[in-house]
Chain A
Amino acid sequence: MSALTPPDPSLKGLQARLLDFHHALRDAGVAVSISDGMDAMRAAAAVDLLDRDVLREALAATLTSSASHRIAFDTLFDIYFPRTSALPGEEEAPAGASPDGSARPGTRDPMDFLSDLIEQLSAGGDAELRRMAQEAVGQFGRVENADGSTSYFAYRVYRHFNLRGMLRRLMQEAGIEDADDLVSRLQVDEFEERLRRFREEIDAEIRRRQVESRGPEAIARRAVRPLPEDVDFFSITGDEQAHMRRAVRPLARKLATRLAVKRRRARDGTLDVRRTLRRALGTGGVPIDPAYRSKKVHRPELVLICDVSGSVAAFAKFTLMFTHALQGQFSRVRSFAFIDTVDEVTDLFADGDFGAGMARMTQEADLVWLDGHSDYGHAFEVFAQRYVKTLTPRTTVLVLGDARNNYRAANVWALKEISDHAKRTFWLNPEPAGQWDSGDSIAMDYARVCDRMVECRNLTQLAEFIETVV
Chain B
Amino acid sequence: MPTEFSGLPDTEQRLAAAGYLPSTSISTVTYLADRLGKPVLVEGPAGVGKTELAKAVATAKGARLVRLQCYEGLDEAKALYEWNYSKQLLRIQAAAGGDATWAQTHDDIFGREYLLTRPLLEAISVDTPTVLLIDEIDKVDFEFEALLLEILSDFQVTIPELGTVAAVHQPYVVLTSNSTRELSEALKRRCLYLHMDYPDIEREKAIVLARVPEVPEQLADQLVRVVRSLRNLDLKKSPSISETLDWARTLLALGYDSINADVAAQTLNVVVKYQADMEKALKHLSVPPDPSLN
Residues of A within 8 A of B (CB): 31, 33, 35-36, 39, 42-43, 46-48, 53-54, 57-58, 60-62, 64-67, 70, 164, 167-168, 171, 177, 180-186, 188-190, 192, 242, 245, 250, 253-254, 264, 282-284, 286, 288, 351-355
Contact = CB atoms under 8 A, between A and B. Distances in A.
B289 A185 contact: yes
Nearest to B9: A48
A334 to B, nearest CB: 21
A67 B38 contact: no
Interface residues of B, number: 56
A250 B178 CA distance: 11
B195 interface: yes
Nearest to A64: B193
Given A61-B29, A250-B182, A182 B276 contact: no
29 contacts: A36-B189, A39-B38, A39-B192, A43-B32, A47-B28, A53-B24, A57-B24, A57-B25, A58-B28, A61-B25, A65-B189, A65-B191, A65-B193, A67-B179, A164-B294, A171-B289, A177-B288, A181-B286, A181-B287, A182-B226, A184-B288, A185-B285, A185-B288, A188-B291, A189-B225, A189-B232, A253-B180, A253-B181, A283-B89
A182 B86 contact: no
Interface in B1-29: 8, 24-25, 28-29
Nearest to B259: A182
Given A43-B35, A43-B36, A254-B181, 10 more contacts: A39-B38, A46-B36, A47-B28, A62-B32, A67-B43, A171-B291, A177-B288, A185-B229, A186-B226, A284-B90
Interface of B: 8, 24-25, 28-29, 31-32, 35-36, 38, 40-41, 43-44, 73, 85-86, 89-90, 141, 179-182, 185, 188-189, 191-195, 222, 225-226, 228-229, 232, 234, 236, 259-261, 264, 274, 276, 280, 284-289, 291-292, 294
Contacts of A70: 195
A283 B109 CA distance: 14
A192 B291 CA distance: 10
B289 A184 contact: yes
Nearest to B41: A65
B181 to A, nearest CB: 5
B28 to A, nearest CB: 4
B85 A282 contact: yes
A253 B276 CA distance: 22
Given A62-B192, A65-B193, A182-B286, A189 B28 contact: no
B236 to A, nearest CB: 6
A240 B120 CA distance: 38
A37 to B, nearest CB: 11
A188 B43 CA distance: 30
A164 B294 CA distance: 8
B32 A61 contact: yes
A355 B280 CA distance: 11
Given A171-B291, A189-B225, A353-B280, A182 B261 contact: yes
B276 A351 contact: yes
A250 B222 CA distance: 34
A282 B28 contact: no
